[in-house]
């Protein structure tokens, strides 16, 4: 009898050892699979706030295996601050309703490295339906996310290059060719043809600007979006002798255009009291010089025309503001007039600055 009991005990011990060895082998295979897949698992016991993490999950979070108890507070402290509220809300929802969840979350390792995890989980309840555990898996998908971002960046760069290439051809076809034809006509002394070519070129350029700026029909540049870097320009010429009744302030960062407008206005007898090279200078000079008319460009350094308009109207309320711009009338006129300008005029062959000043002054007198 004793021999039989000892034999049975030895058999049971052998079976237990074999089962233990099989479990150890299974754990090793699971651990190896998790390491290869860069995946870890967790099992959070809610009441005791103890969380069983696999070795690989610790590694994913940037720690040595089993380095600490991953309490819920400790876990949340490692979730990216921008994702923390979404993670808490997800856990709260499944805690109250049961079931499972999937979420993409970011974590921050101790060295500051941000990792992206695809996390899933399920709620385990007792016989009464009370949640007692939450368990699931986390897969580190950082490499995939970064590869997709790099691929998207490359695709965007390619699209941008294609767009720029198309625009280069359009500039050649619509602008360079037109200017070239105007230059040739000028050499031949055909001023009528020069004007015609320049007018068509300006209209084509405005059309291109509209196509580049508009994503939808009601989209147009906002105040401040037309501020550009200060170009190398000749300093403003200062004030002229104030012997004429109508004082005009010119505000345009393109020196040659200012010179031509000043020449036309002074030849017609107007008093050009100042020339501003940017929007901020226009605002300052308007307050100092109290002009009757301000000829204002839209795209300028420091402040663009739309930004400057409200202050110009405040500092020089009696001044009539004429906005001259390379933007098309349909794109900007309504917004400019609503901001207080008396006129909106497209820069081009048909622009008559003398006639414009005469017109707005006549309207103010009436």
DSSP notation for 141-152: -HHHHHHHHHHH
Q: Select from 113, 140, 167 the last residue of a domain.
A: 140
pLDDT of residue 34: 60
Domain that holds residue 83: 37-140
**287 or 255: which carries more pLDDT confidence?**
287
pTM (2 decimals)? 0.47
Task: Indicate whether 293 pLDDT > 90.
Answer: yes
- CA proximity to 305, closest of 289, 321, 290, 292: 321
Q: Are 88 and 188 members of one domain?
A: no
Q: What are the structure tokens assigned to 127, written together?
A: 């016989």
* Claim to verify: residue 358 and residue 253 sit in the same structural domain: yes
**Residue closest to 104 by CA, chosen among 88, 91, 117, 89:** 117
Quote the CA–CA distance of 244 and 261 in Å, as a whole number: 17
* 244 φ/ψ angles, rounded to the nearest 5 degrees: -105, 160
Strand order in the sheet with 131-140: 50-53, 39-45, 131-140, 114-125, 100-108
Report residue 315 as tokens.
Answer: 């500092």
From CA 265, how far away is CA 311, in angstroms rounded?
25
Count structural domains, the chain. 3
CATH of the domain at 93: 3.30.450.20
- Domain boundary residue, one of 140, 171, 188: 140
Highest mean pLDDT among 92-96, 215-219, 236-240: 92-96
151/114 same-domain check: no
Residue at 223 is within a domain: no
Q: Are residues 164 and 96 in the same domain?
A: no
Supply the pLDDT for residue 32.
62
Confidence of residue 169 (pLDDT cuts 50, 70, 90): low
The values of phi and psi at residue 106, to 5°, are -110, 145
Mean pLDDT for 241-266 is 80
Q: How far apart are CA 205 and CA 173, in angstroms?
A: 10
- 202 with 152, same domain: the answer is yes
> Do residues 354 and 329 both lie within one domain?
yes
* Mean model confidence pLDDT for the chain: 81
Is position 346 within any domain? yes
Phi-psi category of residue 45: left, alpha or beta, with phi > 0 → left and psi -120 to 50 → alpha: beta
Which position has the token pair 């105007």?
Answer: 182
- Using CA atoms, how far residue 332 sits from 74, 111, 195, 309, 336, in Å, is 56, 51, 24, 13, 6
The closest of 346, 335, 316, 341 to 225, measured between CA atoms, is: 335
Q: Is the pLDDT of residue 31 over 50?
A: yes
Contact 281, 303 (CB under 8 A): no
**pLDDT value at 78 more than 90:** yes
Per-residue pLDDT averaged across 301-309, rounded?
90
């Amino acid at each position: 009898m004793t021999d039989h009991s000892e034999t049975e005990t030895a058999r049971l011990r052998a079976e237990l050892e074999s089962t233990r060895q099989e479990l150890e082998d299974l754990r090793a295979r699971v651990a190896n699979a998790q390491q290869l897949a860069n995946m870890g698992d967790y099992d959070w016991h809610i009441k005791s706030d103890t969380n069983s993490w696999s070795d690989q999950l610790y590694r994913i979070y940037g720690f040595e295996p089993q380095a600490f108890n991953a309490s819920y507070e400790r876990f949340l402290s490692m979730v990216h601050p921008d994702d923390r509220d979404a993670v808490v809300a997800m856990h709260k929802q499944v805690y109250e309703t049961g079931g499972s969840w999937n979420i993409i979350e970011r974590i921050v390792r101790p060295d500051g490295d941000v990792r992206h995890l695809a996390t899933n989980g399920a709620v385990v309840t007792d016989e009464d339906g009370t949640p007692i555990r939450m368990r699931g898996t986390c897969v580190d998908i950082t490499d995939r996310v970064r590869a997709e971002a790099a691929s998207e960046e490359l695709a965007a760069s390619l699209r941008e290059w294609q767009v720029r290439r198309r625009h280069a051809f359009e500039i050649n076809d619509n602008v360079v060719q037109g200017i070239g034809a105007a230059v040739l006509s000028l050499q031949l002394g055909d001023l009528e043809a020069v004007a015609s070519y320049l007018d068509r070129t300006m209209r084509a350029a405005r059309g291109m600007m509209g196509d580049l700026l508009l994503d939808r029909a009601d989209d147009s540049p906002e105040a401040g979006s037309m501020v550009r870097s200060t170009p190398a320009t000749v300093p403003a010429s200062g004030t002229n002798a104030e012997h004429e009744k109508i004082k005009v302030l010119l505000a345009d960062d393109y020196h040659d255009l200012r010179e031509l407008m000043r020449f036309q206005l002074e030849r017609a007898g107007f008093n050009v009291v100042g020339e501003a090279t940017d929007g901020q200078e226009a605002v300052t000079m308007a307050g100092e010089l109290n002009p009757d008319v301000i000829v204002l460009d839209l795209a300028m350094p420091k402040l663009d025309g739309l930004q400057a308009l409200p202050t110009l109207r405040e500092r020089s309320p009696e001044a009539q503001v004429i906005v001259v711009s390379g933007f098309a009338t349909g794109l900007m006129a309504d917004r400019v007039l609503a901001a207080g300008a008396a006129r909106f005029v497209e820069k081009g062959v048909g622009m008559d600055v003398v006639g414009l000043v005469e017109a707005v002054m006549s309207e103010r007198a009436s």
